[in-house]
């Protein structure tokens, strides 16, 4: 059967009985519809919509999304200016979690259902935090593909999937921090104090140098950090974000011990490192782990992480009445999400609040300033009984009159 002549595109009947639509793309290439149609009318309707799409400027080259995900994702990381540690994290997530699932798929072939199935499978294998980071990376890569007009929409649309659901770690009492401080080798005691009371991260402590620990002013200036990459390579770099560059005030009570540490254990020289290993090298997390594991076991906290000391300091700062902005500055966070965690009521603080509420109730019961005191027993009880007696007598009198 001869093809019916149309103003835009063409429709022809195939030997199978179904209908094929073809149209001239804005790039000058004659293209078929991605699927066939059960009727000529359906094919013609598709051509009308395709013509309108081209006229609106919304047309997208259907061949653009035929790039393999692994190729595009690798170039996505290569083209970005990233901190060494961030780049290492992205490449690890890509290699271990995304490429095995999507590496051989084209960008256009990755659908919403594929992402949902992948996330569910990963949650059964690794922790939720790792899956959230991998999902967020996948979402960012596919968002760029949308901007590059390689795909029409981002298939990563699972609400909340990119936010790690990190369980809140329990608050250890200061007595335990002091016990840790007393059990750790002397050269690491200042490390424990700064990690707790200035909220510095491990990398910020390991990268700290003498000029930035100003004990005269009583502040520590965070301007660099030490990143330990996969394979053990160490890189000294600036903080990951602008908020990470900050000045934190040091409690006066720990300054004498910090002075002692600078005299006895810090690297010599004007720009010497504050914390070094026993042989004078960089302080490595991997090297400190053996010492930390022994100490936390000795104090009865075998699951304690060094990062939990920062949690103690942040929680104490929040309990002291620090505002959200003050917490963000002290912690080095640009987003309020993490700082909000520490504005919960700690158990000790909650007891103080409960005592204050109880005191307010006691004052109200006893009668506040300017109020008439009405004891709960004695004459007050007698007066209430008298009034009730008068009421009953009046009722009885009315009944008697009837």
Domain residue spans of the chain: 10-59, 65-147, 174-341
Select the more confidently predicted residue: 20 or 359.
20
Question: pLDDT-based confidence at 152, cuts 50/70/90?
Answer: confident
Instruction: Check whether 370 has a pLDDT greater than 60.
Output: no
Residues 23, 90, 135, 342: which is the catalytic one?
342
Residues 85, 97, 201, 261: which is the catalytic one?
201
Residues 97, 122, 209, 333: which is the catalytic one?
333
Residue among 10, 6, 14 nearest 31 (CA): 10
pLDDT per residue over 74-109, tens digit each? 999 999 988 888 898 999 999 999 999 999 999 999
Question: Angle, to 10 degrees, between the axis of helix 255-264 and the axis of helix 189-197?
Answer: 140
pLDDT of residue 344: 54
Q: What percent of the chain has pLDDT over 90?
A: 56
Average pLDDT over residues 113-133: 95
Query: Is residue 40 among the annotated active site residues?
Result: no
Select the more confidently predicted residue: 351 or 194.
194
pLDDT per residue over 272-319, tens digit each? 999 999 999 999 988 899 999 999 999 999 999 999 999 888 888 877
Query: Is residue 305 among the annotated active site residues?
Result: no
Residues 85, 296, 310, 311: which is the catalytic one?
310
Query: Is residue 10 among the annotated active site residues?
Result: no
Q: How far apart are CA 266 and CA 111, in angstroms?
A: 55
Which CATH architecture best describes the domain 65-147? Orthogonal Bundle (1.10)
Average pLDDT over residues 47-62: 88
pLDDT of residue 167: 62
Residues 15, 21, 27, CA angle at the centre, nearest 5°?
Answer: 135
Other beta carbons within 10 Å of 149: 12
Ranking 3-7, 63-67, 161-165, 325-329 by mean pLDDT, the lowest is: 3-7
Q: How far apart are CA 112 and CA 337, in angstroms?
A: 27
Query: Is residue 307 among the annotated active site residues?
Result: yes
Residue among 320, 372, 369, 307 nearest 348 (CA): 320
Query: Is residue 333 among the annotated active site residues?
Result: yes
Residue among 44, 60, 53, 50 nearest 6 (CA): 44
128-132, 148-152, 392-396: range with highest mean pLDDT: 128-132
Residues 307, 344, 387, 392: which is the catalytic one?
307
Q: Are 275 and 283 in contact (CB under 8 A)?
A: yes
How many residues would you count in the chain? 402
Average pLDDT over residues 202-212: 95
Instruction: Check whether 330 has a pLDDT greater than 60.
Output: yes
Which CATH architecture best describes the domain 174-341? Orthogonal Bundle (1.10)
pLDDT per residue over 218-243, tens digit each? 999 999 998 877 777 888 888 877 87
Average pLDDT over residues 350-375: 66
């Amino acid at each position: 059967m001869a093809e019916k002549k149309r103003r835009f595109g063409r429709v022809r009947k195939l030997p199978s009985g179904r209908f094929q639509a073809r149209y001239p793309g804005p790039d000058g290439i004659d293209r078929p519809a991605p699927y066939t149609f059960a009727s000529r009318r359906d094919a013609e309707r598709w051509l009308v919509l395709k013509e309108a799409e081209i006229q609106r400027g919304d047309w997208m080259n259907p061949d653009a999304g035929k790039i393999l995900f692994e190729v595009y994702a690798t170039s996505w990381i290569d083209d970005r200016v990233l901190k060494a540690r961030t780049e290492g994290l992205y490449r690890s997530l890509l290699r271990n979690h995304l490429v095995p699932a999507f590496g051989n798929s084209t960008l256009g072939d990755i659908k919403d259902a594929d992402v949902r199935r992948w996330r569910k499978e990963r949650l059964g294998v690794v922790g939720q935090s790792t899956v959230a980071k991998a999902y967020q990376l996948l979402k960012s890569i596919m968002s760029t593909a949308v901007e590059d007009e390689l795909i029409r929409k981002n298939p990563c649309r699972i609400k909340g999937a990119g936010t790690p659901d990190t369980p809140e770690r329990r608050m250890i009492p200061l007595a335990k921090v002091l016990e840790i401080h007393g059990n750790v080798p002397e050269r690491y005691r200042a490390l424990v104090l700064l990690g707790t009371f200035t909220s510095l991260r491990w990398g910020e402590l390991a990268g700290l140098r003498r000029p930035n620990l100003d004990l005269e002013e009583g502040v520590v200036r965070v301007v660099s950090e030490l990143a330990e990459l996969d394979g053990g390579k160490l890189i000294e770099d600036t903080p990951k974000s602008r908020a990470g560059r900050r000045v934190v005030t040091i409690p006066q009570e720990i300054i004498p011990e910090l002075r002692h540490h600078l005299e006895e254990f810090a690297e010599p020289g004007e720009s010497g490192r504050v914390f070094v290993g026993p042989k004078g090298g960089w302080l490595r997390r991997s090297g400190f782990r053996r010492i930390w594991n022994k100490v936390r076991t000795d104090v009865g906290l075998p699951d304690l992480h060094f990062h939990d000391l920062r949690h103690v300091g942040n929680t104490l700062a929040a309990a002291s009445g620090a505002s959200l902005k003050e917490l963000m500055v002290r912690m080095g966070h640009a987003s309020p999400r993490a700082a909000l965690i520490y504005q919960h009521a700690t158990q000790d603080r909650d007891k103080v609040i409960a005592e204050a509420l109880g005191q307010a109730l006691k004052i109200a019961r006893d009668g506040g300033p300017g109020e008439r005191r009405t004891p709960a027993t004695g004459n007050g009880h007698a007066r209430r009984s008298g009034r009730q007696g008068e009421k009953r007598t009046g009722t009885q009198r009315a009944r008697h009159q009837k």
